[in-house]
Amino acid sequence: MASLSMTQIRTGNSATGFSLNCGGKVQARPCRVGFKVFASDNNSNNKASSEPDLSVTVNGLNMPNPFVIGSGPPGTNYTVMKRAFDEGWGAVIAKTVSLDAAKVINVTPRYARLRAGANGSALGQIIGWENIELISDRPLETMLKEFKQLKEEYPDRILIASIMEEYNKVAWEELIDRVEQTGVDAIEVNFSCPHGMPERKMGAAVGQDCALLEEVCGWINSKATVPVWAKMTPNITDISQPARVALQSGCEGVAAINTIMSVMGINLNTLRPEPCVEGYSTPGGYSARAVHPIALGKVMSIAKMMKSEFDMDKYSLSGIGGVETGGDAAEFILLGANSVQVCTGVMMHGYGLVKKLCDELKDFMRKHNFTSIEDFRGASLQYFTTHTDLVQRQQEAIRQRKATKKGLQSDKDWTGDGFVKESESMVSN
């Protein structure tokens, strides 16, 4: 039986001619990536062929699995990125770089954690993580040298550079040119860092302003010759709007979500906020398991927009937020994500986490007889609708005797004595 193998090739790109008003699906455009398709004989019909295949091809990038190191401390230098490749991560996104690292000055402590249990008991499970960390404080020249070294040592593995720059076209073009010379496979643009230097129109300051985002994406996509992902901020009312602009402006994919702006808490003994630096703090980015449901909601919103307005075979979506298990990852993929990023999870559990993620994702696939990621990618997206539609569906089901009334039917039926049982009677699982 013939099988297909795909090899990435890079081509020129034009990012012009994209309208912000999208009537129907976006048409195909000149693309930075393409595929050469080769047929090869594969007559084996043995156990290996029935084993779930975790490999994915995203924007022409071939990954052994969909698990990607998210931009942050786990990708901050050569040593840790090499460790990630050695452990088996599908791809690595380096910590965000800019032209001038001298303006990046971190403080410590810069992390705070939220634990489950009464008053955040020190024995409770970590469910939330806040950081006030900035982008890379290492000289750009050093990071570029390490990117090049990694690509020389791991030519078949995917290394993605994360970049962020001030509102300056020349600076963006220079940064892209220098990063691409190292041989990186793609670029993720940080339009989403919730703290740091918004006064310089960096990070979320761009991602929250669609007009500014369109302009900067135009600069970037006119210059870049490798696939570009736009990393979206959740700190906005409708995340599908900037995601749409990024794709219409030439990006091959979007990634969501970055961290959520937060104040972790106040120390009730000292009355000082956490994390505490010389008695003071600043709002930071919230991540870990507690943000997972929020991230799923944002990814769902983007995926529905992409499905209705874009050809999802030509664009990609990378899900981020609270991934610690294979099941967490499966949820993002079921909503349409091509890849799943992990950052805080690595900080909590180490680089070996990828083995657990792969094993658990394979278990999920075996349970449902899925043999590839594409077998179930986006399968759950169809089940999201409006509340009005839910009411109509249930009323029709009752009329057709295909549903049994469950729980209370009106607010007047609640009682004080049976409140807990009445609440449980309306839970779906």
Give the DSSP H/E element, type plus range, for residue 396. helix 387-399
Give 220's contacts (C-beta < 8 A, 6+ positions apart). 15, 172, 176, 187, 189, 228, 250, 251
Ordered alpha helix ranges (H), 12-102? 47-50, 78-87
Contact between 137 and 105 under an 8 Å Cβ cutoff? The reply is: yes
Place of tokens 């986490």: 353
Q: What is the CA radius of gyration of the chain?
A: 23
CA within 13 Å, CB half, 191: 34
Q: Compute the C-alpha angle 329/183/377, nearest 5°.
A: 20
Closest CA to 280 of 267, 292, 289: 267
Closest CA to 75 of 141, 163, 171, 155: 163
Give catalytic status of residue 31 as yes or no: no
Closest CA to 367 of 327, 321, 413: 327
230/213 Cα distance (integer angstroms): 10
Tell me if the bond preceding 64 is cis, omega within 30° of 0.
Answer: no
Q: Is 220 helix (H, G, I), strand (E, B) or coil?
A: helix
191/205 Cα distance (integer angstroms): 7
Closest CA to 91 of 101, 99, 81: 81
Q: Where are the extended beta strands (E) located within 147-239?
A: 158-163, 186-190, 228-231
Question: Which position among 22, 193, 251, 358 bears the catalytic label?
Answer: 193
Q: Where are the extended beta strands (E) located within 222-364?
A: 228-231, 253-256, 260-262, 265-266, 273-274, 284-287, 316-320, 339-342
Q: Which residues are catalytic?
A: 193
